Amino acid sequence: MKYVSFFLVLALTAALAVLVSMPIGQIPPIAPLLDPNHGFWQNTLSEDQLAAEEISLKNLSAPVEVVYDQNLIPHIFAQNEADLYRAQGYVTAQHRLWQMEFQTMAAAGRISEIVGPIAIDLDRMTRRKGLVFGAEVGLKFIQETDPETLALMEAYADGVNQYIAQLTDARLPVEYKILNYKPEPWTAFKSALLLKYMSDMLVGDRDLEFTNLRKILGEITLNKLFPEFPTENDPVIEAERIWDFTPVAVTKPDSINYPDETLLLGPLTQPVEGTGSNNWAVAGKKTKNGNPILANDPHLSLNLPSLWYSMQLSTPTHKVKGATLPGALGVISGFNEDIAWGVTNATKDARDWYKITFLDDKRNSYSYGNVVRQTELRIEEIKVKGQEPFIDSVIYTHYGPVVYDHTFKNERQDVNFALKWTVHAGSNEQKTFLLMNKAKNHQDYNDALNHYSAPAQNFVFASKKGDIAMRIQGKFPLKWSGQGKFLMNGSDPRMEWQGYIPNEHNANTLNPERGFVSSANQHPADPSYPYYVFDNSFEHYRNRRLNRRLREMEQITVEDMKALQFDDYNLQAAEALPVLIQLLGTYKSDSPEAEKYLQELKSWDFFADPNQKGQTLYSIWSSETFESIWRELMANEVPLVRPNSYQTVELLTKSPTDSVFDIRSQEGFETAEYHVKAGFDSLLVAMSKWETEEGDYSWSNFKKTTIQHLVPNFKSFSASNIYTGGGSGMLNATGSRHGASWRMVVELGPEIQAFGIYPGGQSGNPGSRFYDNFIPIWANGEYLNFSLRTIENQENVLFKTTFK
Amino acid sequence: MRFIFLTILTVLLVVFLNPIAPFWMVMIGIGVLSALIYPNGIGGFLGGGLGMGLTWLGLSIYLGITTSSSLPDRMGDLMGLGSGMTLVGLTGVIGFLLGGFSGWTGVLFRNMLQKNPENVYKG
């Protein structure tokens, strides 16, 4: 009997121990998670409670000092660059390990390993468009051409790995505990992958949609609805700029035979609307103190842990501070003792698609002019949590990978499209940032940029010497006018890119007469720029607002520049609302509700401040009106894009009786008025619903700005419904999920004054008091002092660590 | 008496062993303690259970208070349990069950090794 009872209870105890150590469905193992010594309770400790005075770091040539200020911003003081980046790797991993690994898992098409079969399609897409292939080519390029940078990337990886090696269960980031996996070693390849991932986030193309539009609308209507330059073009490089070089000749084929079928493919994911950025620099002659001032605010998806991590990196020869990307070396947007620089996305069509004519179903070879070319096969093994791996085979042509074929997002057996993208060519963006961090003048800035390929950026520059500059840098294909706007025929060699625009011909300017340089994702240059430039997503509002303000401002101070970054003026509303109100006429004037909303709209000053109701009403009315105008076009069951808001507003204003407003499927002839009224009806319906369900329709409550954890299901790790203004198309481009992911203002006087803020916090740990402590400051348009620190400075020190 | 002794030793074990060892090693430790101290069955279960459960409960409350972190609430929300207080309770209950069954197993193991009582009469 006592044997029986012992073994029975032993079995019960063992079963209990096993049960609480095993994941059940999506629920992680409960005992390791709740164990207060190892589980999530340990993640309640903030970094200052865990501070160590000394940490052992192997492979250093001299001790490295790290001073954390009161906001947990590390200031690293090393004796040389190898030590500096080793420490950068270790320190970044201490605060952001889970995030940096998760982002590169996404970039590598490996999310299925963490979350299971739900992510297989996502991973296939990531791999089929060749991001991993591109990172491999990129790393090989660095290995062959730049051993110095490679050595620094490996030092960084070693720093990260030394952190991982000493990591205890207790200190493991809580996301690993919940998702039940462990970090793997970091590599230089992952750093390369991260920069490719940025390309993927920022680059789009609409070749498929434009091909369909061309078929449906015809070339003439297409050009009318999608003109390549807006009426009021206010480009990045001032329109007065004289291009004093002889452009490389591009020959346009005399007859072009586009693939002319309507296509039902699932298009690639595009950068979400609202992704964009501002940067500018004003010359000393326009500022109160006579010093140049530089400002940068990249608008990206608002996430926690934040995309950015701020740091100061110092060696005896340079000190640089600003925003870093966890996983990449150096500072990405920042300043040093001599210069400051910033980035905005230079949207330009860098992806083109070629229709491949295979000789047979085996797809080993395809026709190309008069010859036959061979394909290569790349096998992608996608590991899947709780399942057998998924094997995908991707065919590569000389253009690039065949993303769409009958196995993926395409029902037709005979349609195969290969992707040509600058990301697949070897490049060394890391070198640009390593050099920029140490740059002392305009020449150094230009030298650093010569290594930069993708994603193309508008690099703004200002120096203590008084120079301001802008350069649009990327590897841009030489294209004939119209090339790459539509899908092309890959069997015709005349459709090839004819080389690349030389770096020195990339649009740029130094110390322009107008006393400022600026960019806001608009057209790079005036039509006089001698190369063909096309993109569907150029900005038409922020740029004009920004340049208007910069033109009229004088005696500028840092405070003025901060206010401009936080400017909520809605230029689109200022231009469109009077037209909408006029076209509405007296429609629904007998309804008290309609009258109330109309009065609120009429008394609105076009500033989308958080307490404004006019902005809410305008945003619904305009979007419903635009929706109504293009509904019939978008009803075609193929991927299409709508004409942009700028073009729509222009049509409403200048030609309200144009035939584009007519709805063919309805009797009679509709004009703009019809759509404005339909939009207003929808506004009344939407508002009645909103007022019943939510009540308050002030702008911040309506747009509900949310800073979402990288795992969207982890809702309680996100910050939602933040009281802040702004929106898409405004300088403060803070929408519901996108916005200023980093704001920086630097005055380059004898003593550099710098201010910065981002919506998040230095710690990636949702339990830390430094996880989201910057959010209220950011939401109010306030800044942290970001000036450079010396090692001796004892003010506002949180703690210090020495790496030995 | 033995029950109280077991409870105290279990607390010490969890406090000193648990930070460097996973929970299942602590369970084995409690089983061994319980077999050595040898209370009755209920005493073993309650001693091990209260020792581990109270320590886990205490530690989670201590961490929650000293850090004033929002993580317990965030985790409670994420797990669909409402507030962080529920998680404090759950941590205590899991600790109690793991410790209790370990303690009980230890007692029964000792029982198994004891000579049969009828042997007493055969002397």
Query: Burial level of A79, CB count in 10 A (0-12/13-18/19+)?
Result: middle
SS3 A783: coil
CB contact under 8 A, A40 and B75: yes
**């490679």: which residue's tokens?**
A150
Q: What is the DSSP letter of A731?
A: S
Chain B interface, Cβ < 8 Å to A: 18-19, 22-24, 27, 31, 56, 59-60, 63-64, 67-75, 77-79, 87, 90-91, 94-95, 97-98, 101-102, 104-105, 108-109, 111-112, 114
Q: How far apart are CA A766 and CA A304, in angstroms?
A: 9
Q: What is the DSSP letter of A317?
A: T
- pLDDT at residue B122, rounded to an integer: 47
Q: Quick check: A330 pLDDT over 90?
A: yes
More confident residue, A489 or A312: A312
Residues with Cβ < 8 Å from A13, sequence gap 6 or more?
B27, B31, B101, B102, B104, B105
Q: Quick check: A608 pLDDT over 90?
A: yes
Q: Quick check: A68 pLDDT over 50?
A: yes
Helices (H), A557-591: 558-565, 571-584
Q: Quick check: B120 pLDDT over 90?
A: no
CB contact under 8 A, A35 and B105: no
Sign of CA dihedral B15, B16, B22, B26: negative
Q: How far apart are CA B57 and CA B92, in angstroms?
A: 4
What are the structure tokens assigned to A361, written together?
């179903």
Q: How far apart are CA A707 and CA A114, in angstroms?
A: 22
Average pLDDT, chain A: 92
CB contact under 8 A, A17 and B97: no
**């916090």: which residue's tokens?**
A761
Residue B114's CB is within 10 A of a number of other CB atoms, namely 10
Residues A3-38: tens digit of each pLDDT: 888 899 899 999 999 998 888 777 789 999 999 999
| Exposure letters A760-775 (e unless 16+ CB within 10 A, then b) | bbbbbbbbbbbbbbbb
**């500028």: which residue's tokens?**
A556
SS3 A379: strand
Q: What is the DSSP letter of A644?
A: P
Distances (CA, A) of A182 to A28, A106, A323: 13, 16, 27
Mean pLDDT (whole number) for B62-66:
94
Set of chain A residues whose Cβ sits within 8 Å of the Cβ of B105: 6, 9-10, 13
| Chain A to chain B Cβ contacts (< 8 Å) | 115
- pLDDT at residue B123, rounded to an integer: 42
Q: Are strands A351-355 and A488-489 parallel, antiparallel or unpaired?
A: parallel
Looking at residue A187, its amino acid is T
CB contact under 8 A, A9 and B70: no
CB A108 within 8 A of CB A126: yes
Looking at residue A428, its amino acid is N
Least confidently predicted of A89-93, A695-699, B118-122? B118-122
Q: How far apart are CA B42 and CA A576, in angstroms?
A: 79
Query: Burial level of A337, CB count in 10 A (0-12/13-18/19+)?
Result: middle
**pLDDT band at residue B103 under the 50/70/90 scheme:** very high
Mean pLDDT (whole number) for A699-712:
94
**pLDDT more than 90, % of chain A:** 79
Q: Map out the domains of chain A with their CATH numbers.
A: 2-200 (1.10.439.10), 201-565 (3.60.20.10), 571-703 (1.10.1400)
CB A470 within 8 A of CB A459: yes
Mean pLDDT (whole number) for A653-671:
93
**pLDDT band at residue A796 under the 50/70/90 scheme:** very high
Q: Which has the closest alpha carbon to A558: A287, A300, A264?
A: A287
- pLDDT at residue A719, rounded to an integer: 95
Long-range contacts of A747-750 (CB under 8 A, 24+ apart): A747/A287, A747/A289, A747/A291, A747/A292, A747/A293, A747/A558, A748/A291, A748/A292, A748/A293, A748/A294, A748/A335, A748/A339, A748/A340, A748/A462, A748/A463, A748/A464, A749/A289, A749/A291, A749/A464, A750/A464
Residues A488-507: tens digit of each pLDDT: 999 999 999 999 999 999 99
Q: Chain A: nearest CA to B1, how far in angstroms?
A: 23
- pLDDT at residue A104, rounded to an integer: 93
Residues with Cβ < 8 Å from B37, sequence gap 6 or more?
B2, B5, B6, B9, B47
Distances (CA, A) of A750 to A337, A529, A753: 9, 37, 9
Sign of CA dihedral A748, A749, A750, A753: negative
Q: How far apart are the first and last CA of chain A?
A: 62
Which residue among B19, B24, B74 places its CB closest to the CB of A717? B74
Residues with Cβ < 8 Å from A242, sequence gap 6 or more?
none
Q: Which has the closest alpha carbon to A129: A356, A361, A378?
A: A378
Q: Which has the closest alpha carbon to A618: A702, A721, A733?
A: A702
Q: Quick check: A160 pLDDT over 90?
A: yes
What are the structure tokens assigned to A792, written together?
């001796």
Residues A92-140: tens digit of each pLDDT: 999 999 999 999 999 999 999 988 898 999 899 999 989 999 999 999 9
Tell how far CA A230 is from the center of its chain: 24
Residues with Cβ < 8 Å from A549, sequence gap 6 or more?
A564, A567
CB contact under 8 A, B69 and A45: yes
Q: Quick check: A47 pLDDT over 50?
A: yes
Residues A369-387: tens digit of each pLDDT: 999 999 999 999 999 988 8
CB contact under 8 A, A37 and B104: no
- pLDDT at residue B76, rounded to an integer: 92
What are the structure tokens assigned to A588, written together?
């629904």
Q: Chain A: nearest CA to B47, how far in angstroms?
A: 15
Mean pLDDT (whole number) for A225-231:
91
In three-state form (DSSP H/G/I as H, E/B as E, the rest C), the secondary structure along B10-77 is HHHHHHHHCCCCCHHHHHHHHHHHHHHHCCCHHHHHHHHHHHHHHHHHHHHHHHHHHHCCCHHHHHHH
- pLDDT at residue A256, rounded to an integer: 77
Q: Which has the closest alpha carbon to A266: A367, A169, A408, A155?
A: A408
Q: How far apart are CA B85 and CA B72, in angstroms?
A: 8
Q: How far apart are CA A517 and CA A531, in angstroms?
A: 21
Mean pLDDT (whole number) for A279-288:
97
Q: Quick check: A269 pLDDT over 80?
A: no
SS3 A284: helix
**pLDDT band at residue A798 under the 50/70/90 scheme:** very high
- pLDDT at residue B119, rounded to an integer: 53
Which residue among B56, B94, B114 places its CB closest to the CB of A30? B94
**pLDDT more than 70, % of chain A:** 97
Q: For residue B14, report the phi and psi dihedrals to the nearest 5 degrees.
A: -65, -40
Looking at residue B59, its amino acid is L
- pLDDT at residue A203, rounded to an integer: 79
pTM of the model: 0.94
Which residue among B18, B74, B97 places its CB closest to the CB of A16? B97
Distances (CA, A) of A585 to A45, A455, A567, A576: 61, 47, 31, 15
DSSP codes of every residue in A290-312: SS-EEEEEEEEE-EES-S-EEEE
Q: Are strands A743-747 and A293-301 parallel, antiparallel or unpaired?
A: antiparallel
CB contact under 8 A, A41 and B59: yes
State ipTM: 0.93
CB A23 within 8 A of CB A31: no
- pLDDT at residue B98, rounded to an integer: 94
Q: Quick check: A690 pLDDT over 60?
A: yes
Q: For residue A217, report the phi and psi dihedrals to the nearest 5 degrees.
A: -95, -25
Q: What is the DSSP letter of A278?
A: E
Q: How far apart are CA B52 and CA B18, in angstroms?
A: 10
Mutation target for A interface from B78, B83, B85, B90: give the one with most A CBs within 10 A.
B78
What is the CB-side half-sphere exposure of residue A286 using CA atoms within 13 A?
26
Q: Quick check: A266 pLDDT over 50?
A: yes
CB A116 within 8 A of CB A108: no
Q: How far apart are CA A582 and CA A486, in angstroms?
A: 38
Q: What is the DSSP letter of A370?
A: T
Q: Quick check: A272 pLDDT over 70?
A: no
**Domain ranges within chain B, ordered by starting residue:** 2-112
CB A775 within 8 A of CB A784: no
Q: Which has the closest alpha carbon to B101: B64, B50, B65?
A: B50
Residue A226's CB is within 10 A of a number of other CB atoms, namely 19
Strand segments (E) across A645-700: none
